[in-house]
Chains A and B, each alone.
Chain A
Amino acid sequence: MKADPRLLLPGRLVAVPVAGAVLAEALAWGLAAAPGTLSPAWYAVPRLLSAVHLLTLGALSLSIVGFGWQLVPVVTAEAPPPWFEGLARWVNRLAAPGVALLCLGMLGQPPHPVTVLGATLLVGTLVLRSGGVVVLLLRARGRPAVRGWLLAAELCLLVGLGLGASLLAGRLGHPVLPDPIGGIGWHAALLLLGWVGGWIGGLGSVLLPMFAVAPTPRSGALGLAGLLWFGGLATGQVVVWSLGAVVLVASLLWSVHRRVQRRLSVGIATAVCGLVGLLALVGASGRATSPTVAAVALVLFVLPVLRGVTLRIGPFLLWSHHLAQDLRRAPPVASLVPRWPARGAGALAVLGGLLVVGGLASQQFSIGRLGAGLAFLGTLAHGAVLLTAAVRAALARNRLDALGGTEHP
């Protein structure tokens, strides 16, 4: 078997949506921190609805879209066909504007018609993207448990998007669902836990060992976790889903525990916080109100995991694109990331998240606003860290070019 250099896709395919994700998250927290946004009747408050969707459709979806372009070939261990890059470029061009229009339109009461244009753009691009990803996953061999998680995640995406479109139609005066409130719950569960959670579960077993130099979780354990996770979601059985979550977290944390790298990088540590947040979600499910559970899922589980992944993989990809041609003289990947600002950004995000959840659970919305403000600052810091890594990579490349040639023993 030979290595295929086409496994490294053009950097812009990842960078553009991930940049959009960071911007969307900052806007979301800024909106949430504004007076009057956080409310118990969250579905009825346009600003909160918009903020939630900036987090979900913006920060989460664009992160998965962006990293997915590079990580699907890693999972399949095959260079993607030429049409995959073309698909990526078109999805990237249209998905972020779709998110922007959708969330902008949601600020209206009722939603502005531009919401329909945004929804059409976004749903269309995500469905096309999903089709491309599914084709690659079905064609691949190996890693059956990982591919199973991702395929199930994509199915959740399609159903979740359909529910979302139906809910939007209802808000625009064309009700489709007999039970819109129930539909909201399914929509949120399928997208947050099914799609985003599915990608976290599927890729976690690949990325955590890769970047923490750790043993791979057992395929059987991952498969069992997947059956319980998606089976519980599909049937609405919280206990079954919770068992799947516990098996998943146990597998991943056990792998991290057995790592060779003693000190966890900031990215992996942030992602591990998110896995602990998943256990908090298991604890909250069935015991707290739906908005609180949704907040725990969003703010304590998926956002920290995706932020951690961004912090770990982003600089690695930057290094790969700028410096890998000169392995001998290139500085280490870790040198691209300013360590303390990255830790500060992570701490602000985690603390902010805890305050948001605490504020919602206790109906003390001033605490929630404080949390949103801290999370906003954390997101700005996170963006600054990624930008710094990009600048450092470019400067290091310039230095190597100035030195000229390539050293050999």
Chain B
Amino acid sequence: MSLLNWIKNALQQDVPNNPAVFELPGEAGQLLAALRHVIDPEVGSDIVSMGLVRGLELDGAAARLRMTLTTPGCPMAGYLLSEVEQVFAAFGIEVDIDLEFEPPWSPAHMSDQGRADVEAGE
């Protein structure tokens, strides 16, 4: 390995396998599609394309959503999650949102659509 590549590797945070979820079958898939209307105002991409959604389990009129944020301590978190709850409420579903920050979010978790949205919004 060249010195330059060694330095690049030393500076770059390791990125584990992408934990994001972009498609799901059945009703969960419909909810996931609806979540694409929730846009991160700073980035200009929806939370699904950004790779913030990590899991969705449905149990009748209840759901459990696992998701993350671009950074812990984001002051916008309350508003963003309120939007998510409203999306589920429109389907008559009460959602329990679990925020997780391990592994931390990385731009590498974004889908191609998410990256395109960011570039289009510039």
A residues near B, CB below 8 A?
1-5, 7-9, 70, 73-78, 142, 206, 209-211, 213-221, 250-251, 254-255, 258-263, 316-317, 319-320, 324-325, 327-328, 330, 332-333, 406, 408-409
Contact = CB atoms under 8 A, between A and B. Distances in A.
A76 B98 CA distance: 19
Given A7-B74, A73-B73, A324 B41 contact: yes
A255 B104 CA distance: 15
A332 B121 contact: yes
Given A218-B12, A260-B119, 14 more contacts: A74-B71, A206-B71, A209-B71, A210-B71, A215-B108, A217-B11, A218-B10, A219-B13, A251-B11, A261-B118, A316-B42, A325-B79, A327-B39, A327-B79
A213 B90 contact: no
A254 B90 CA distance: 43
Contacts of B7: 250
B107 A263 contact: no
A2 B67 CA distance: 11
A142 B77 CA distance: 18
Interface of B: 7-8, 10-15, 34, 37-39, 41-44, 69-81, 83, 86-87, 90, 97-101, 104, 106-108, 110, 115, 118-119, 121-122
A262 B119 contact: yes
Nearest to A253: B11
B80 A213 contact: no
A142 B72 contact: yes
A218 B13 contact: yes
A70 B104 contact: no
A317 B75 CA distance: 9
A210 B72 CA distance: 10
A319 B41 contact: yes
B10 to A, nearest CB: 6
By Cβ-Cβ distance, the 7 closest A-B pairs, closest first, are A5-B78, A77-B73, A77-B72, A3-B77, A74-B73, A8-B75, A324-B79
A7 B71 contact: no
23 contacts: A3-B99, A8-B78, A9-B75, A77-B73, A77-B101, A142-B101, A210-B42, A215-B15, A216-B13, A216-B106, A218-B14, A220-B10, A221-B10, A250-B11, A254-B12, A259-B107, A260-B107, A317-B75, A319-B41, A320-B75, A327-B80, A328-B37, A333-B42
Contacts of A317: 75
A216 B104 contact: yes
B83 A328 contact: yes
A409 B34 CA distance: 8
B42 A215 contact: no
B81 A3 contact: yes
Contacts of B81: 3
A249 to B, nearest CB: 11
Contacts of B83: 327-328
Nearest to A78: B73
A215 B80 contact: no
